[in-house]
Structure 1
Amino acid sequence: MTTEVITDIAQAEQGTSLWQDAWVRLKKNRLAVCGLIVLLIMVMTALLTPWIAPYAFDAQNLDLGATPPSAAHWLGTDIFGRDMLTQILYGGRISLAVGFIATTVALLIGVTWGAIAGYVGGRVDAVMMRLVDILYALPFMIFIVLLMVVFGRNMLLLFLAIGAVEWLTMARIMRGQVQSLRQQEFVEAAISLGLPTSTIIRRHLVPNALGPIIVYTTLTIPGVMLLEAFLSFLGLGVQPPQTSWGLLISYGADTMEEYPWLLIYPGLTLTVTLFSLNFLGDGLRDALDVRGSRD
């Protein structure tokens, strides 16, 4: 009997958790692993931007103007003589921050709303989910535009506005998960022990629904980043002197015929990030699908 067979038998006897099995299945998905690596590189680069950017963020050379990629400026410069690589690095900090923070806001609202509706049930569930249906019917882009016009264009409002319109699907997903879990033995045991509803939801129901929550998170972040890019493209998102990938794409689109690199590089960076998040989300969905893994 070989050493590998003995190791496999020992692992089978010890057993593995859902998360260990999911990690093993995720590692077999090359696209998901590549997406995870690219995403980690993007995040680390954003965090280290002040130290690795080749030029200062506000450094410009009007005499230089827009120049194509060169040894001094790897991705060229814009019409103000600013280094495009530096602009993309600093823009990534804003775009990734919008994606992660707005998604966190959406998850907090959606998970809380869906868990309460699914666990309490009855009229409370009916009223809460009918409100979700009504909100689904509203044109959220107009809602965000009105918020930005009425309350001003600032980063905090942008985070909250995007997060406030992205929670509806999470609420429906969480409600369905809680409805399938609330009849389980561990929930009935918690009720028999006299635990309050908030504790049952927080300590028993939400942790057991982390799989769908994680998957939805990885699929929501690219959607939020794309929404921010669209708002910035319309001039309603990030405002100068700050920048984001969406704002850089907007500037590049205006001059794409004369200076195509101003559009190509920010657009390529955003595309690679969105693909990485989608690949990772698809990989996590497959890895956490227990029924699919048994087939």
Structure 2
Amino acid sequence: MAMAGLAFTVLVTLACIIGPWLLPHAPDTQNLALGASGPGAEHWLGTDTLGRDLLARILSGGRVSLLVGAVATTVALVIGVSYGIVSGYAGGRTDRLMMRFVEIIYSMPFTVFVIILMVVFGRHLWLIFVAIGAVEWLTMARIVRGQVLGLKEQAFIQAARSLGQDHISIMRKHLLPNLLGVITVYATLTVPGVMLLEAFISFLGLGVQPPQTSWGDLIRAGAESMEEYPWLLIFPSLFFSATLFSLNFLGDGLRDALDPKS
């Protein structure tokens, strides 16, 4: 299942990157005379209410959803890993203060946080990266901090201290390499979670704005007219669900493969 998930993820990613250029219809080309039509020979997955090709829009929206997943996960990893290593290694009062700060941010409702950002800075795609990255790093920080609390008492860390290595070198050369397995697994499992958050934001109308689109935005538009044009909801949902499943299968496989006890 993990290899199947990897293959499907690569296939969908390549399709979203190069697919819109290979299709005969552009994702933003309207044909008001055609309107919403079901799947056919010319439009394989049908068209939306403005006559735009649904397959082209799904692949174009996949670019945004996958980009949000990759960028926001990277931001969450950089912040979370750095914060967690420093907190766990420092210990004592520093660790307690840093973890209390994490708990305070955890208590903030995510939707309210996004709405505040949109009101203050306007609706921009980069705000989605900021909003999701500002929340997702919290879990990574707690996971890394818990691992570091156990690792810093190991003999090889005590030996590094005895040899006079500074704290930065110990965290970079000794702690970080021993955390790569956990970080890799969590990163793979974070991407679908981030994509789901982006879909939730777009479903509320707070995500990407026209003419851009994403899978969450397509699902929202399809839900509004699912009784008359069910294909507008079914096909984006299938692409989105299959991608989430494949990423979760890949994450589960990596967790088993990198588990030192297995």
TM-score by length of 2: 0.96
Query: Aligned residue for 2:4?
Result: 34
2-structure distance, mates of 1:281, 1:39? 12
- Partner of 1:167, secondary structure, is helix
Is this contact kept in 2: 1:158–1:237, CA < 8 A?
yes
Is this contact kept in 2: 1:144–1:161, CA < 8 A?
yes
Query: Aligned residue for 1:285?
Result: 255
Q: In the alignment, does 2:180 pair up with 1:204?
A: no
Query: Aligned residue for 1:48?
Result: 18
2-structure distance, mates of 1:96, 1:196? 39
Q: In the alignment, does 2:95 pair up with 1:117?
A: no
Query: Aligned residue for 1:231?
Result: 201
- Name the count of aligned residue pairs: 262
- Structure 2 stretches lacking a partner, 5+ long: none
1-structure distance, mates of 2:28, 2:108? 40
Residue by residue over 1:238-273, the C-alpha shift from the partner in whole angstroms, topping out at 9 and shown as x without a partner, is 110000000000110111011000000001100000
2-structure distance, mates of 1:58, 1:239? 13
2-structure distance, mates of 1:213, 1:53? 37
Give the C-alpha shift of residue 203 in structure 1.
2.3
Give the C-alpha shift of residue 40 in structure 1.
1.0
Is this contact kept in 2: 1:218–1:278, CA < 8 A?
yes
Query: Aligned residue for 2:53?
Result: 83
2-structure distance, mates of 1:182, 1:190? 10
Is this contact kept in 2: 1:148–1:158, CA < 8 A?
no
The within-5 A match list for 1:53-202 is 53-202=23-172
Give, as a single letter, the amino acid of the residue that structure 2 aligns with 1:45.
Answer: A
Residue by residue over 1:45-84, the C-alpha shift from the partner in whole angstroms, topping out at 9 and shown as x without a partner, is 2222343233222211111111000010000000111000
- Partner of 1:102, secondary structure, is helix
2-structure distance, mates of 1:190, 1:52? 56
Give, as a single letter, the amino acid of the residue that structure 2 aligns with 1:217.
Answer: A
2-structure distance, mates of 1:140, 1:196? 38
- Structure 1 stretches lacking a partner, 5+ long: 1-30
Give the C-alpha shift of residue 140 in structure 1.
1.9
1-structure distance, mates of 2:200, 2:209? 13
Give the C-alpha shift of residue 122 in structure 1.
1.0
Give, as a single letter, the amino acid of the residue that structure 1 aligns with 2:5.
Answer: G
Q: Which structure has the greater CA radius of gyration?
A: 1
Give, as a single letter, the amino acid of the residue that structure 2 aligns with 1:235.
Answer: G
1-structure distance, mates of 2:244, 2:24? 25
Give the C-alpha shift of residue 152 in structure 1.
0.8
2-structure distance, mates of 1:52, 1:186? 54
Residue by residue over 1:86-119, the C-alpha shift from the partner in whole angstroms, topping out at 9 and shown as x without a partner, is 0000000000000111111111111111100011
Give the C-alpha shift of residue 44 in structure 1.
1.6
| Identical-residue share of aligned pairs (%) | 63
2-structure distance, mates of 1:97, 1:36? 17
